[in-house]
């Protein structure tokens, strides 16, 4: 179950932009990070959890839009991490406002980590 954190500067990134992101991002991540042939690494959009926060007055050196994706580390994901990250970025560039794209104002960072999820 990937966990996505979106951090934004509310003066530059509107609620509508965030709503659009949180609507489409689960499908993008599920499509891009699913691993064919590995049942544990298969994802649906309902597997993606998103948390949105705003920059605080103590934050330093932060861009207006920061997207971090934490997902389980499977060998198949690791082997193609750059390609998978590039694909997520490409798809985000298609939906984000043009004033954010290619201007050092936003990033996506995919972090593969060992982990185990269990409902309690």
The CATH number of the domain where 26 resides is what? 3.30.429.10
- pTM (2 decimals)? 0.94
Domain assignment present for residue 120? The answer is no
Give the pLDDT score at 108. 97
Mean pLDDT of the region 5-33: 97
Residue with tokens 């509310």: 10
Residue range 66-88, pLDDT digits in tens: 999 999 999 999 999 999 999 99
Residue range 86-109, pLDDT digits in tens: 999 999 999 999 888 888 899 999
Domain count along the chain: 1
Q: Which whole-number Å values give the CA distances from 86 to 19, 65, 89, 93, 115, in the listed order?
A: 22, 17, 5, 10, 23
* Both structure tokens of 23: 């609507």
DSSP designation for 49: E
Q: 60: domain range?
A: 3-113
Give the pLDDT score at 116. 86
């Amino acid at each position: 179950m990937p966990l996505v954190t979106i951090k934004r500067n509310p003066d530059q990134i509107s609620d509508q932009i965030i709503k659009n992101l949180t609507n489409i991002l689960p499908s993008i991540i599920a499509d891009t990070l699913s691993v064919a042939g590995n049942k544990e690494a298969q994802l649906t959009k309902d597997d993606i959890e998103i948390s949105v926060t705003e920059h605080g007055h103590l934050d330093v050196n932060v861009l207006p839009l920061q997207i971090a994706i934490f997902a389980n580390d499977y060998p198949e994901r690791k082997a193609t991490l750059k390609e998978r990250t590039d694909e997520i970025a490409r798809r985000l560039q298609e939906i984000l406002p043009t004033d954010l794209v290619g201007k050092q104002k936003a990033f996506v960072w995919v972090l593969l980590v060992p982990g185990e999820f269990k409902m309690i």
